[in-house]
Chain A
Amino acid sequence: DAGVTQSPTHLIKTRGQQVTLRCSPKSGHDTVSWYQQALGQGPQFIFQYYEEEERQRGNFPDRFSGHQFPNYSSELNVNALLLGDSALYLCASSLAGLLNEKLFFGSGTQLSVL
């Protein structure tokens, strides 16, 4: 049973560029959430997708956007990259509904913006 998988594992970009990160949820899960973890900080909630729609969003600018596909996989897009976007981006999956509150995390994509 595959867990949450993310690609790529590492990425180096320059300021102003755009990046796309990918996530496949754990088998049987239908909800995907994205988190940003800066060095020395805890993960911060970016947004959550369910039924191919953004259901809730954290305090992140519109440069951060996402998508969920019919097979529940998801993408995170970041436009006009800033140095401050350098971080570990974590994808978490879960099953929608009350009492399904344990999130399973992938190993993340380490993004470096130069």
Chain B
Amino acid sequence: ELKVEQNPLFLSMQEGKNYTIYCNYSTTSDRLYWYRQDPGKSLESLFVLLSNGAVKQEGRLMASLDTKARLSTLHITAAVHDLSATYFCAVEKLVFGKGTKLTVNP
């Protein structure tokens, strides 16, 4: 059974700081997705990573995929309050992790 683990599950950080969210998965996969969810809202697609070594960046967020290590990272650079949300990774046929609730404090 495919398992997806994210850590940390909760992250409180200050504006301007950098941090990384980790996503580990249990079986071989060559595709990984990152989504964002705001409270009471649906999921918004952020990144689709389709090969080993894939790196994608959008604004202050950068995602990478290491299929050999079965690991993806979502790096946040110089966080701003607007990034506060829950971030999910998903693997294969969209098996989701539990999410990382990010709070960016002034």
| A joins B in a complex | no
A contact set with B: CB distance below 8 Å: none
